[in-house]
Amino acid sequence: MKIRSDIVKVYKNVHIWVGIVAGLMLFIAFYAGAITMFEKPLERWATPPSVLSAPPPLARTPELIAAVLAAHPEAAKAYSVVIEPTPELPARVVWRVRGENRRQSVDYGASFAADGSLQVERLHRARVAQFIDALHQSFGLPFPGAVARPLMGIVALLYAMALVSGTIILLPTFAADFFALRIGRSIKRLWLDVHDALGVVSLPFHLIMALTCVVFAFHDPFYAAQARVVYPHGIHWHEDAPAAAPPAQWLPAFATSVAA
């Protein structure tokens, strides 16, 4: 494919400078995102083990729930019965005391001590995994989310620009340069060949990451535009439909689990 040399030069300058500007933040985002794939194992590894006694049998669950609600009435708003406790949820009964946001919410777990008394523990989870996830989402920028997300979206747009311009640079010599690894005296030529080959092979994946990052960063404006264009009269949820009647009597937790 033939492209004028002056056009190729323009796109080459765009590719180089956009790559330099966005490269550092992309480096942080990529490596933090790769570590985030192991968020749960990392959180489990960094969290100290629970000191709660072993969870009581399921048959004693109603007794444990009654003891929890008597000592902590706030648990009635949102408590859960854990059928199969795990290192993340080591208690038979857990509940959450909500704060102003998710990070300020506190989780608790309960069990019976050896003497039969109620034992309650605040379930601590290491924040390292959440920190890495936040680092991935903000590109390492030390700003609040409302500021970091738009900047992240701009970097993602620059990222897409670098991908497109790099593809245009390679088009005139695509047949000769694709998968041509010229191993010789010039290390710079070798690195450029590797860069071109990896860029072409992974281009669809990088474009998907760049575009989805833009949507994530600017989702509020996108949703606002969608509401105006697609749902100009609002969304109707059939508020007049009759609500389902609650059961006359709830089954005990252990009976429900056995039936399941």
The 3-class SS string of 108-125 reads: EEEEECCCCCEEEEECCC
pLDDT at position 71 is 92
Is the CB of residue 118 less than 8 Å from the CB of residue 69? no
Question: Between 177 and 109, where is the model more confident?
Answer: 109
| Coil, strand or helix at 81 | strand
Q: Both 153 and 115 in a single domain?
A: no
Q: Both 144 and 76 in a single domain?
A: no
Q: Both 22 and 139 in a single domain?
A: yes
Q: Both 115 and 137 in a single domain?
A: no
pLDDT at position 258 is 43
Q: Both 221 and 143 in a single domain?
A: yes
| The 118-122 sheet, strands edge to edge | 79-81, 93-97, 106-112, 118-122
Last residue of a domain, one of 92, 124, 156: 124
Residue 249 maps to a domain:
no
For the residues 139-148, what does the mean pLDDT come to? 81
Q: Both 95 and 142 in a single domain?
A: no
Is the CB of residue 48 less than 8 Å from the CB of residue 124? yes
> Residue 224's CB: how many other CB atoms inside 10 A?
10
Q: 64, 63, 94, 92: which is closest to 78 by C-alpha?
A: 94
For the residues 69-90, what does the mean pLDDT come to? 88
Question: Between 258 and 170, where is the model more confident?
Answer: 170
Does the pTM surpass 0.75? The reply is no
Residue 62 maps to a domain:
yes
Tokens of 65: 């729930």
Residue 43 maps to a domain:
no
pLDDT at position 223 is 85
Q: 225: exposed, middle or buried (C-beta count within 10 Å: 0-12, 13-18, 19+)?
A: exposed
pLDDT at position 119 is 92
Beta-strand runs (E) in 101-175 = 106-112, 118-122
- Is the pLDDT confidence value at 67 over 90? yes
Identify the helix (H) or strand (E) that includes residue 97.
Answer: strand 93-97
Quickly state the pLDDT bin for 249 (edges 50, 70, 90).
low
Contacts of 258 (CB under 8 A, 6+ apart): 58
Show the domain range for 60. Answer: 48-124
Q: Both 108 and 70 in a single domain?
A: yes
Is the CB of residue 161 less than 8 Å from the CB of residue 155? no
How many angstroms separate the CA atoms of 64 and 185, rounded? 74
For the residues 87-107, what does the mean pLDDT come to? 79
How many angstroms separate the CA atoms of 27 and 136, rounded? 10
- Is the pLDDT confidence value at 2 over 60? yes
Residue 118 maps to a domain:
yes
Contacts of 251 (CB under 8 A, 6+ apart): 259
Q: Both 150 and 22 in a single domain?
A: yes
Convert the pLDDT of each residue in 195-230 to its tens digit.
Answer: 777 888 888 898 898 888 888 888 888 888 888 888
- Is the pLDDT confidence value at 259 over 50? no
> Which residues in 32-49 are b (16+ Cβ under 10 Å) and which e?
beebbeeeeebbbeebee
Quickly state the pLDDT bin for 87 (edges 50, 70, 90).
confident
For the residues 99-103, what does the mean pLDDT come to? 62
